[in-house]
């Protein structure tokens, strides 16, 4: 999930994207960044954004079909109306996200954190995260004061490599071999 600035109220978080149409009755295909992917359906209203354009839509129903969702939106009743929504990002207000258990984090909370080793060496900042089959991976890019100019891919494995996360300080401590 990617954070987006919002001009009024809570910042927006991107939960997915409308990628195509499905059939002739106005259904859209949605790529979801939520886990599980149908969690995006837990939000009855979506803020759709494409460039500077933004609109609010009500979700009527949706279902998982292969690796995407097929969703019906209120007021979208034919293929042409659905086609006009392709490439819109699906957003919700950040404060609409459910609270997490202690020690759990949303990806947007981790993005931008400085990453330091247990020895105190700055590796860089978390640019974004990737979902892989076995575990999530943090893409750490160099920043001012970094040990070197290498981009690193670090597995997001708490209790193994990730030793502490301090959101207030903007810092993540990792046990990581600098040769990797």
Is there a contact between 139 and 128 (Cβ–Cβ < 8 Å)?
yes
**Residue that terminates a domain, selected from 96, 131, 154:** 96
C-alpha pair distances (Å), 41 with each of 25, 99, 104, 130, 171: 19, 17, 21, 22, 32
Q: What is the pTM of this model?
A: 0.75
Q: What is the pLDDT of residues 12-59, one digit of tens each?
A: 999 999 999 999 999 999 999 888 999 999 999 999 999 999 999 999
Q: How many residues does the chain have?
A: 180
Q: What is the pLDDT of residues 94-128, one digit of tens each?
A: 989 988 898 899 888 999 999 999 999 999 999 99
Instruction: Quote the domain boundaries for residue 123.
Output: 107-174
70's CB contacts (< 8 A; 6+ apart) are 22, 27, 28, 29, 30, 62, 63
Please tell me the total count of domains within the chain.
Answer: 2
128 shares a domain with 92:
no
């Amino acid at each position: 999930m990617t954070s987006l600035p919002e001009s009024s109220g809570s910042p927006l978080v991107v939960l997915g994207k409308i990628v195509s149409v499905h059939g002739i009755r106005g259904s859209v295909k949605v790529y979801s960044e939520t886990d599980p992917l149908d969690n995006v359906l837990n939000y009855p209203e979506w803020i759709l954004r494409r460039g500077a354009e933004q609109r609010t839509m009500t979700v009527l129903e949706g279902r998982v079909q292969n690796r995407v969702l097929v969703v019906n939106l209120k007021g979208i009743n034919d293929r042409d109306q659905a086609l006009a929504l392709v490439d819109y990002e699906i957003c919700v207000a950040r404060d609409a996200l459910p609270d997490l258990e202690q020690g759990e984090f949303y990806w947007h909370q981790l993005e931008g954190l400085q990453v330091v080793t247990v020895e105190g060496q700055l590796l860089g900042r978390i640019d974004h995260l990737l979902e892989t089959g076995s575990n999530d991976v943090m893409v750490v890019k160099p920043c001012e004061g970094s040990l070197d100019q290498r981009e690193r891919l670090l597995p997001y494995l708490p209790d193994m490599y990730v030793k502490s996360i301090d959101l207030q300080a903007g810092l993540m401590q990792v046990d990581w071999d600098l040769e990797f």
